[in-house]
Structure 1
């Protein structure tokens, strides 16, 4: 959607129209139209006037350095250079000490071999110590963050460098125009450094001491006592490090101090997206193409994750393109977080591209901004977040929206700035484009800021155009706002996207959904899950009416197996809990049926836990918004209704199944009616007289049934097993009206 002009512009145009009314309606209308067109064209030209940023590379060097890491860095830089990259940011991250030999190899490469072919900008945001300082100084440009500093080179118990070993430091200091005395002070902490001004020229020298002569410091760098000079770096074991301020202003060891890595990227006029990971793509690399056309939900996001994983398993894939034409609500945005974490973890392995030919909204916006490159067609739209904000009674409050806004800020900081995320969530928020003034760091860099922030920082920025509002980001606006470097015609093909990155059409691999993905998505759908739950629970109830393990048990097992398999395939966070709840519920049901029949608490708890376990699979986490509470109530209602349907269905099948000729074997027929003399009721207090009595089972005991003792037939329960009709049994326990029997061997007599 086009940018919305500031209300003040509309008011000024209205005033212009009123002033021309005396000329006549046609002339006044024409003047107003001309003013409107002029204002609109001026603002559009200003938006299009943003100077293009360069595509550089961002690489990381971690201590301790190893030969393998140095070779890998060398290969990556050379490959980027072969593809036309000229600016590199090499981020030095301190750690355990590095050996001088490996540090010398990297320093020689940065100092000698790179010269003239690329610009290397070394950056450190933490204190550097040890020989990691050597390749840092060897870079053509050096930058420190606010917490960055240069400390002792010889750390721990390491012996002082010999004259031969420090030769590489001296060569780099002279070659990069650094003060040699200051560099030697980094190597030998006990030395003191004095500032000397001669003929208006500032220089630094080392105090002439026996230690300095023992270390063979060049005589022209020594200054004796009483020769003047100002002490700037005192020597000794407690000697201080060189801060970023000192390194930049006093000692010229670095090119400058920056407040953040993003500020350095802006100052070098590089795309912020390089901080997502710089990947040197071989033109012959395979390209995995993933189409995101269906609205995002748990199933589709999990399918995307599996496609992503399959793409990375192909070692020849150097680029993954997400062709996005989907939306998704707040729940889907939470699911996309897991996919984004996978993408960010593997950004250094492959180039990720979000290609938006028409429209990407809602949760799909997060996926687009998570990619290294964003490519839009001219009329494409990105960023309509209404599906996440919700509407009516399902609208999220500001507090509920905050996590979503925060997540999008983290992504847009590499594609246009954090203010874009705020504006997409708040259509009434006004933004302005600004340019850093010449007297501040990052001079000439352009940004998109909130209007009030831009007004507050007028001393730092020049405002480039009128304030505007965002509903969505179109392809025409994407480049001006720093969201994308590339905008394609509306009729662009896949080949046009590949051409942007020098890739070949014949190397394209479309990642399609296989039959397993489709099966999982079907089973994991809430309607299918509830249907399988009804069928499984019905068969489970029927199995309790049959002896042994029959067809209902098999069907029930398959139904629940499919439910848990499909959902565990989709999400791994809470399924172990759901499975444990289901097993516990099933165990309580077995206790109710076989161990302590008549205990309502065990049976009710078992049924409740089984329902909760399936509900947990559907919901996946405790609700955090109004919509999620509504979904939880909906799922619980569906499962409750499913349970009622299962009980009714089991009752009807149990009642009518015996009359069906082909299926009557599944359910045992009811026992033959006995004569009144055989079913005479016995008072409960007289049941104790049957303890130890021997009788015959007149029905199958599963485990409950009937047995005859003399002329009396009683209800009994078999102990620990199923017994066939006609089995000789003996009463082993009597508790009230509950009579427990055990089977007797055929040879046993009463």
Structure 2
């Protein structure tokens, strides 16, 4: 998980490194920049400009940290847990106890067999001269060789303060690309090496020129390195304890393995990977973080995880990402400037309160294990919330960006049982121990309330602060040196943080108030291409919004109410069926509706139909039907049945509010419609009454006998001969098919009773 300055394509990069403004965001970290060889004239100037941006931000962060430490007073008492589940971290003295660090990792592409050959002397000297200059004064520079490297790329390493090499790596033969080692080249190497006085001139000459013989001799002042031409001069100034020993004869390449470089004190220590590098630097792995250089030659894509975590969603996201990386055009729509270029940046936008722990871990594992972070960088952006198990997905990405007040962890959609947590714990602890630079205590505390976490400090020349439970503390190689401090998360609650606090606790890499700022952070000029499965998902998201949910419920309830007022299979029942079908369909695809909600709604609908068409009145079937529909609608808006934490209680309140607003709207509409229709149909004078009775005179039906055509509750329709007329009963409910007799006629109003 490192930032790559890709040679020779890095010249496409035109931005600068951008850092979060929090003073602890960069000052207490080693910023890691991966230089993919070879280095040449097209790439060196953009590299220098980018490194200058990093240095400027490091120095600014250092000044802020020193100021914060000098002005800080007081702190959080031990065991006093702040609201939300964590203490407000105090300024860390490690910020000012070590200089800002830049690590240059020299990397050879997998398909390059020449060990990074091809770097030009002029470009490498320019970079080395800059690293040894005033710009990097007060900056600790470290050269890291995890692979074998030959060629002039070694020259910038000679300008660094420290050299770290993998044990099996071999470095040297700096002049392998030169047919003749000219005096200019030789002088350039000796000049850079002399500035730091870390490498003896004889070793530098042998690294450069294989025709030089390298000698080693023990003197009264220690081990000395020399060439045959200088040995006599050295003999005149120091007493030899033994005769000079030939280390590498003339004609042998000046190549040193990691072990040889360490033995001969060329390398400060050995490290094969990021954790080893961090230990050597006196840091935790999560403190060795990539600088925000975006030297991309591919293009960026975006995929959204919105709503509850389900198997369908996580599987779809994994398939979309894999198809985008593989360039599978049959699965992902590829539009715009991204066509023809590989995907090398994935933005995963998460706005979720979790859902299924197993599915979250599956997606987290895919992001961390199945995506090559050397080729594709994954960044999680959380604008609002990534609660509970959704936080594990965010933490599995190379970097995590939150809005300042966004929530990471804490109470979510589901409260996991002890059995499920016990099964998931080995996966969580093993995953974050092996695949992530972050520890596993805080991620586990986001889903498991049984974990108690403290702030831990390790004394030493370079003090280190971390956040462990007791079990993880015991797993540390130097467990006895870790001292337990303030309580960060107490047992019985889930760990929750926000963008600002999460950044100071090193769970969050940066903060961005909106997506526009996120793009600025990563040098994205255009919006990343959104991986969209199709129109159905867009429609589902629109229908699942609170406003649309209220509208659908309002129209559905209105349809049922209208059908009850005017029985018969008509517009009301069709409107209700369509609206409720859309509501439950969107929630089903959104992951909040299962068979329970659909069964409750179906039972409620059937009971209401029985109440309206079979057993008139408003009795047991009507009350039960309405209750079942209300429960099904509420459950369809959430992933739980009974709220078991504060978040779920708030979600239930929101669900009830949506239903309440829709119900109030229907009630207001009903009263308004009744009043309007009453006023509209009310005759204003006797003349109008006479006219209306003249236009609709059913006086001849008085005493007539007919058959109820629909249910009379009390309004409905009845058949008289060949005519079907609107009638109203004298108060009793009359079932269809019953004989009725006309007992009163008032113009167009026909009153009947059961015969």
Q: Normalized against structure 2, the TM-score is what?
A: 0.47
Q: Normalized against structure 1, the TM-score is what?
A: 0.47
Where relative contact order (Cα < 8 A, 6+ residues apart) is larger, the structure is: 2
